[in-house]
Structures are given as structure tokens and as C-alpha cells.
A and B are shown apart, each in its own frame.
Chain A
């Protein structure tokens, strides 16, 4: 009898882990950054805390230690907000804005942040009259081609924020469990082995493979001088996400037209300003390979058809004294220096937007 009870317990625990790993909601709680920070040191998840590319490759050389990984100093005096900003963005801004650095924006406070790719729909927004309502659409360069050349994806960007408050938020299942759960394998691996205490074992395996066989995780590309890691899909010339895959004029035209259409749509439903910003791939800025950059961002910027507001981060990055050092060596994201460049550009944009009579030479607005 005792043995049977033991067997039932083992089965229940295994099934419990299986269903937990298959549930989007349960895993979100587990993976949540804030929950992670509260854990004992050895039980902290190490897949992103030392850099996301490090977390894929576990190459010890690229582990980035230290707290305040994304800390950005406040460099603006706090002013009374005159506007509200709604952001459709990804991890580049989420890591900054969701950690309460919105006070760094010129006369603007964060109203809502929708993270691209989340299955949950955003709540309808109620725009405040008398205040400037700004919509910022931000994404990493590697997603631009796929998101602005697909009708359904353009439509989903247009439907992200609705100003019609009668539209109710789409209910999501409590557990969001599917018959074939997404990412279940990675989730189970994280539940079992994703902790800092296993870090040295994972590094030993990764370092052995790399130094003995010159192999690392296929999602990661080690720069030729081994100074940094890149996301492989930003390097591989066969990928649409790559900085080095050929792009046609027609495709650039399609991207620009869809940007214009999105901008027009959001202005129609009440937003005062709609601005796009695409964060360059580290590979576009550092040009590590032998292939030439496909110039996706400069092409969009210089398109005569572009009517939407566009913040040109690429040029600012390329002309900075040390462009490669605007990104972490073991992470796809920019570091505080990279973010500050963007923030200054965006604040210039905001200033120009609040003070249209002033001629701001620093920021060339696309109108």
C-alpha cells in the first residue's frame, strides 16, 4: 500500500510539472523578473540575468556580472507632464520603461505599454483631452521586415490599442493550456536546470564544445575576434531578420506604406502623434561579417514616401565614437549608453512636438 501511495505521488508530481510547464500563465509567474529577484541567489534563473545571448550559449567569457544591468541615470529635471505616451514596443524599451524610468521623458508620462507578441490583448485606452497623446511604436530591427510586410501583422499592430472603450478585453484562459503546449521543452528545462547553481556546469559544457570543436548554440554567433556575441538570425544571410540579407526597393516601399497606414489609422482614432523607432541590430552597427549591411534602416529613413514620424537611431549609433559598445557583449540589447542616445533623440522629438514654433536643428522630424 505504501509503495502504491509513493507511486501515485511520483506520478502526480511529474504530471504537475508537465502541466505547469505547459501553462503560459504558470510559467509567466515563474519567469517573472520581479519574482526572480526575490529568490535566494543560487535559485535565481540565469537565462537572462547575465545577458540573453549568454543565457543561450553559456559561454563563460560573455557572462555579464553586476546589478543594475539596465540602470539608466536620470538626466532630466522632473517637469509637470503635459502628455501621455502609449507604447507598442519590445524588450528594448520594456526593460527601461517597466522599471520606472519614464520620468526621463520630456514632459511626458507613460500611460500604457503593450509588449509585442504577448497573447493577451491590450485594454482599450481612454485618451485624455487637453493632453498630448503620443503613440510610440518601437521594435528591434530584426522584426521590421516580417511585421511590416504581412497584412495580418500590420492589422494586428493597428488593432493593438483601441480608443473605443466599448470593446472589451479578450478573455484569456486562466491557465492557457494547449493540447500541444508551446515551448514546453524549454520550460521544463528551465524548471529543472535554469538556476544559477547549475551555471558552472553549463559553462563547462559550453566552453568545452566551443574551445574543442568551435561549436556553440546555433542561435548564437561569436564575433570573429571573440569580443561579443550576436544573435545568429541577425547574421545569417538566409534569414529575413538578418542585417545582411538582400532587401529590395519594393519591400522597403511596402514597409514604408504600411508605416504610413498605421500612423494614419492611429491619428484618425485620436492620437496626436504617432512615431516609429526601430532599434538597429548590433550586427548592423558593428558590421562583423564580410557581407555588406542591407541598409534597411537608412533606406526607410531616406524614403521619399515616408510620411510617418520616424526616429533615426541608426545614424546616431553609427556616428557615435564606439558604436559596438552601445550593446552588451553577451546580450542582444543595448546598454545604458545606447539607451541614452535613443532617449536624447526621443526627447528632442518630444520637445519639437510640444514646441512646434521652436526650430530644433538637432532633430530632423519627418513630416
Chain B
């Protein structure tokens, strides 16, 4: 069930109405059942994977809290192994198997490795990480183990952020499920406005840009160099508008029921450095890696060289988290390398004059734009085709419509400017609620692209 679908609209109206109609004691059950329904609407059988990890982590949480010493650690490891095991099996088995096959064939050994014919469960990486953060926080003593299995299941399954985040922390979410949320008109209106804004970004911009990007990346050989460059430029914005739109719809849907999810994006393309970019892009994931991988590796409190190695490890794993393809790994590796390079530069030339802000923003954008090529292409062969296409040196745009290109540029500029000046997460509507919503609905209808495009991050 996609957020930009009529199916979701009906689901959302039904669930939200029932939420405020039911007494507080029964709300968790409603949200849990609704979340299961939301997930089942994609591929029903995969709900069992979620239920499996929920059962493991629920038991592990209580066991970690009750025990001490080695036993405590053992339960944490069991939880990590179970969660990562599911992730590896569904997401990385074929990747490792195929690459092992290639490696073996280099040594003249049999490369007949098994390949699984399975579809990746939607949002697997997101809910696995969210579940993991619970057991880790219980182990660290920052969170009490949740005794109510329904509430715990809801923490993992909560429908607004189930399939594409934000990846929440138990300290932020679990207590919210016990709080009484009365209907608040202002909150409700803000939530609706936020959701409408998210839908506008998804169907008016992101899906419009996809009309350029998707065919080019499917058959790059058919397009000119300038068309490939333009498509890649558009992809940088497509993925931002697509993913931030999802986060905003999720935020809005939860907010109007009284829940507060974490902020996931903060105009990342206005960053002046790559490290700033990562404080503003997919914040819930970057902070997850910081707290559960970078810090345990030693963070900044180790030797300089070790810091660089840690950074590379974190970003390579982050790339792999996105998908079992070399393109994602290279994308992560590039960002790691950018950060290492920036730290080296600061260390070697501490007094170097800084560039004008506009130039810094442009450089950071260009660096991220370059890395997106690998991310979007996915495989090494596809990446090669894209670079080959760019290098061919043909500069016409025979397949694109100039008016549409200008239209897309205008949209990018207008929406980016709006987001720069007004923080989307603080949108409030005190007056003219209905005219604003109607205006957004009209814009969405007339300029929207309704092709049932999934959100890009659903695949992760």
C-alpha cells in the first residue's frame, strides 16, 4: 500500500477515525492490526518474518534485562544474529553467492553457487535496524525492556514508518504508545498539511523526474551524453524529493494521531561540507550508524588512521545496507573517501582560506551527484554503460521535451527555496486550512504523475 495511492487514503481515513473513536486502552490493538494490514497489502507471507524478529527481540529484551554478565551479552548476540541473519539471507545471500562464484572461477574452481529465487521483503533493512536498536539500547541500560508484547510489536510495525523509516529509537517511541493522545484540531491540521506537502513532492516532482531518469538508466545506449547527465542531475533531486516526501507523509500521519517521529531530512543540498550533508540527509540512518557502529568502533577517540578506517567501514556498510550491489558499495565508499579527504585537508592545511559559501554548496552537490551515478546504476556493468554514454560526447537532447525540462527546473528551484526558508517539520496552519488543502489537491491533480511508482527506498 503506497502512501500516494487511493487505497492508502481509504485506509488512512478508516484507521485515523477509529483511532480517535476508540478508548485509549484499545488503540494499540487498532494500530497493530492496521499496521499488519498495511504490510500484508504488499506481500502477505512476509509478515511472518516480521513476527519472527519481533518474537526474538521481545524475548531477548526481557532476557537481557533480567540477566547480567556473559548471559546478558549472549542474549544480545542472539538478537543481533537473528536480525542480521534474516537480513543477510533475504538481501545478501545471492550477492555473496554470485560474487563467491566469480571468485572461485578465477582459481579454476567450480562456480556453481546456489541462487535463491526470492523477492526481498519490503522495508526489511528499516525494521531490522529499528528492532536492533531496541535490544542494543536495553543492553546499554538506556531503555527498559518492554513487557507488553503488543506494544513492542507496534514499535516495530507502526505503519507510518514501517517500510521506509525514519528508523526510530525505543526511547523516542515506546512511551508514546502508552500516552493518551486526545484529538487536537491544530495538530490534526498540521499533520494533514505535512502529508499533503509530502504527496505533492512525491507525485508532482519526484515522479515527474522519474520520467526522465528511469528510461535513461534502463537503456543508456539510446540516449545522448547530455541526456544522461541531465537524467543523473534529476536523479539527485528525484531521490531527495521521493525519500523526504515519504518521511514527511510518515511524520504527518503519525503526528496527527499525537505521535512525534524524528526529523529525517534538513535540506541536505544546501550543505557546505560532506559531513554536514550527512547530518542533514537520512538523519535517522546516519545517526544509527554513528551510535551503533561508528562509536563502538572507537569513533574519534582513536588514532587518526583508525578514524579514517572507521569512517570507511561505516560508509561501506551504509552502502551495503542500501542493497546487495556493487554500485551501492561504491556510493558508500565514495562518501567515506570524501569525509576522509576533508579531514586530511583540514589537518594538512588548517589555515587554508575557505571558499565562498555558494561554491562550497555547489562542490558538495557535485560530489554527491557524482556518487549518485553508482547508486542509481546499481551494477558495475550498468555503471560502465552510463559512463560510456557520458563519454560519447553527443550534446543534443532528441528524446526530451525542453518545456518539460524547464518545468522540472522551476519546480526544483521553487520547492527547494520553500524548504530552505521554511522548515517542513515545523509547518503550521492557523488560518485558511481548507483553501490551502484544496490548492495543494488541485496542484497535485493537475501536475501530478500517477503511475503507481513505488517510493525508491521501499526496495531497501
- Bound together, the chains give a CA A240 to CA B15 distance in angstroms of 42
A208 lies within 8 A of chain B by Cβ: yes
Per the bound structure, the CA–CA distance linking A79 and B335 in Å amounts to: 82
Given contacts A7-B17, A14-B17, contact A188 B10 (CB under 8 A): yes
Determine whether B414 belongs to the interface, using a CB cutoff of 8 Å to chain A.
no
B81 in contact (CB, < 8 A): no
A180 near B44: Cβ-Cβ < 8 Å: yes
- 0/1 interface trace, chain B 12-54, chain A, CB 8 Å (1 if under): 0111011011000000000000000000111110000000000
Is chain B's interface secondary structure helix, strand, loop, or mixed overall?
helix
Give chain B residues whose Cβ lies under 8 Å from the Cβ of A179: 40-41, 44
Q: Is B349 an interface residue (CB 8 A)?
A: no
Contacts of A212 in B (CB 8 A): 403-404, 407
Number of interface residues of A (CB under 8 A): 25
A160 to B302, CA, bound (A): 74
Q: When the two chains form their complex, are residues B21 and A15 in contact, meaning their CB atoms are under 8 A apart?
A: no
Q: Which residues of A contact B (CB under 8 A)?
A: 4, 7-8, 10-11, 14-15, 17-18, 179-180, 184-185, 188-189, 192, 201, 204-205, 208, 212-215, 218
- Which residues of chain B are within 8 angstroms of A189 by Cβ–Cβ distance? 6
Report whether A11 and B7 are in contact in the complex, using a CB–CB cutoff of 8 Å: no
Complex interface: chain A residues within 8 A of B17 (CB): 7-8, 10-11, 14
Chain B's nearest CB lies how many Å from the CB of A112? Answer: 36
B403 and A188 contact, CB distance less than 8 A: no
Tell me which of B14, B40, B401 contacts A180 (CB under 8 A): B40
Is B289 in the interface zone, CB < 8 Å from A? no
Closest-by-CB residue of A relative to B43 is A180
- Distance between Cα atoms of A205 and B448 in the complex (Å): 9
> CA of A17 to CA of B10 in the docked complex: distance in angstroms?
8
From A14, A180, A204, contact of B10 by CB (8 A): A14
A7:B407 contact, CB within 8 angstroms: no
Cβ-closest chain B residue relative to A212:
B403
Asked if B40 and A18 make an inter-chain contact with CB atoms under 8 angstroms apart, the answer reads: no
Residue of A nearest to B446 (CB): A205
The residue on A at minimum CB distance from B183 is: A3
A164 to chain B, nearest CB (A): 36
Contact between chains at B14 and A14 (CB < 8 Å): yes
- The contact of A213 among B407, B446, B452, by CB within 8 Å, is B407
Closest residue of chain A to B404, judged by CB? Answer: A213
List of B residues within 8 angstroms of A8 by Cβ: 17-18, 21
* Alpha-carbon distance A299/B211, docked complex (angstroms): 37
- Residues of A close to B15: CB separation below 8 A: 11
Q: Which residues of A contact B18 (CB under 8 A)?
A: 7-8, 11
CB–CB B446/A15 < 8 A: no
B143 at the interface (CB under 8 A from A): no
Q: Can you name the residue of chain B whose Cβ is closest to the Cβ of A211?
A: B403
In the complex, besides A14-B10, A14-B11, A212-B404, 13 extra interface pairs with C-beta distance below 8 angstroms are: A11-B13, A11-B18, A14-B13, A179-B40, A180-B42, A185-B452, A188-B6, A188-B7, A192-B6, A212-B403, A213-B401, A214-B404, A215-B211
